[in-house]
Structure 1
Amino acid sequence: MSGMDVAWLSADAGAVESAMATERRTSRPRWLPSRRQLLVHVNTCLLIWYLAIVLLTVGVRVDTAQDGTVRVADVWTLAGAAIVLAIWLAGTVLLRRWAARPPSARARLAEWRRTLTALANGFEPRPSQGAAFAALITTGGRPLSSGGHGRGPGSWVRSYPRFTAPGVEFGVLTGGAGRAGDRWTYLAVTLPAPLPHLVLDATANDRLLESDLPTGVDRSQLIRLEGGFDAHFRVYSPVEYRTGALYVLTPDLMAALIDHASAFDVEILDDRLVLFRPGSTDFDEPTAWQAVGALLSEVVPRVVRKAERYYDERVPGQETPRLLARLEAEREHPELPWIEPVPRIGPDGRRLVLRDGWSATKALAGTIGWFALLVLLYPVPGIFAFAGFMSIIDGR
């Protein structure tokens, strides 16, 4: 794939509408909250806090300053608050109706442009709940739960927008192994055979005091490469598989990574190549599609060729002398059926040693923080409102 066709991103609105009339599809999932729905949640939180403040203020005044006596001023305060509440509730009903309406014409047109651009390049828009693959950004390197759904590693991952083709997917991923709100722009490709676990940590996207990787990697696995590549990427390989890393990271691949993927971290895990960087990408812009096209045409094919030719000599049946003998026998007796060995990687090369304690702590802190925020927004003002109400009705 030499490039991406981005003509639909700037096509006439009428042409886009006509094309979508024949496609009859949408890429926006129902589970993804819109800005209107978020506004409804904010309004609901403010409404609950309003009730809490009014009832608690009057209740404290009745219980303390007035020795449990409800006075006329308190009744007028509550009456005024009730009028405001009634108006607010009416506005809330209208707000909910507005939020339930279809997306605006502008938002719908932008979605159609992305969909048509994906289809023009052989991709399908398919948002996903749950991780479709195991990687540092989805499961922290742990095995993927069945189907990527339900409880377990990767179950809280959300991907939107997400564009897929056989063996390829890219888009924006939220959640995963880092904090609950982390977002990653990613490209994942299925390789023809597994390779040793490799992680290339791009220096261009480092945070102030640390790497941007969602899971730490034991630094004893750091390897040094020549030609200035270390200035762009920190390369981690299983200690016993450094020769395999050098086999994969040939000068042409390193040059392609520097030229086209310097802002992306790279992971090879089993038969999966994943390029990712922190933050989301606006796929309404041609540059986003062109960047993916460059990765698919300049970086991915070089890794695919390495995977096609790699055999792990530590695995029985994949030793170089045995493979050479098999090739020689095939040349001498082409009429005989020969069974191709199934490529495998030895246990020492399948997984890097990860320092996931800090990452797990961050993920746990993010989950606790999110739960605490929900409690603060809903139950806490509800409890305060109830306490204030009871103070008022208990007044003598």
Structure 2
Amino acid sequence: MPTPDDTALSPASGTEPEAPPAKPSRHNTFRIASLDWARGWMLIASVSVNSLLLTPSWFGHAPWEGVNPIDVIFPVFVTLSGCGLAFAMARTVKVGPLLRRVAVLFALGLVYNAIVEWSLDVFTWRVTGVLQLYAVLVALIGLLHLVTKTWRGWAIITVLLAFVHTTILTVFATRCTAGILTKECNPSGALDSLVFGAHMYAGGIAGHDPEGIVAILGAMISASAGATLGHLMLATRRRSLATGRGPEVAIVPMLAACVSFVALAALTFLTLPILLGVELPIMKRLWTAPFALGIAAITGVVLLIGHLLLDRAHPWRPIEVASYPLLALGRNSLLVYFGSHILTSLLHHPGPSGVPLSHSIAEAIPFPGPPQLVWTILLLVFWTGLAMILHRHRIYVRP
């Protein structure tokens, strides 16, 4: 629900606490804005993709292995969520409020599925989905913060998750023809169909669930990598405040983390699969470790760029002004990300004439240019304007 801003970060919000200052100073209370900045860019990409009136096959979700452009957006969101949770839980974890948020997110996920699938029949509702996956990630990342609140601890968790997930996929692949995971032979099809039955993705007909149990384990790699980056940023921030230096102290640690993600991706892609004589595809459908770690590395570089530009006592004024819409979007990332999906789903349903409402509206807008371009700009202006208004009044949507 919308609430006034405060100094604490909830897992679903875009706010974060101030980094612990080394000594009292009016210059050491500025926010870590790079997370919201990176979220803002991700949301521009997400809204633009959602605005497509017709999605080319090469751009939409890959049917199985491989990565298409649209496959990147949600994993970036998950990685940034892990970073935000690191900011939120750097000091303490309140288990009660955490579990309440998870329950709300899961319930909203069921409603979201009903809207997207245009069905009110609870007996055919899909139990899994993006909000449900996100809810589970929030719970797991939150509870694991009871174990460690350091970037080293989260780096170890990321490595363990990467090898556990890779082991499950590669061992299962030894049972498949030619050692290749397919829609007919994969652990998601076996496990998720056993747990969820007809309530899984596509009613189980697809043979896998991209937001099921196996995919959640892969998504945890993305989220834990994001938590590693978040705690690393907090550590370098403390060093920056203690020494009086700027955000440049984060360059080497952040780049080293990104390179480490790439190296770990290569290890999971080459070592165990080669030893067992199977293939480990880089793919979103099963959220494989090389895919998750590659996205995390790219996200880390984007975070570092935002950190260098904005996370200083006196950012360059033109950059600060130009970044305001991105920061506003980032502060309400949950609303814009899932809200734009719901709105798009509603507008894609046929109107009285049988033509989708989005097509009719786009063609009716009296502005020059292709309908697709006009429609994309209209949606970007709407969501950015809404986010800026809410940000101005310090209202942020959280479960």
TM-score for the superposition, normalised by structure 1: 0.19
Structure with higher RCO (Cα < 8 A, 6+ apart): 2
Instruction: Decide which structure has greater strand share.
Output: 1
Larger Rg: 1
Instruction: Decide which structure has greater helix share.
Output: 2
TM-score for the superposition, normalised by structure 2: 0.19
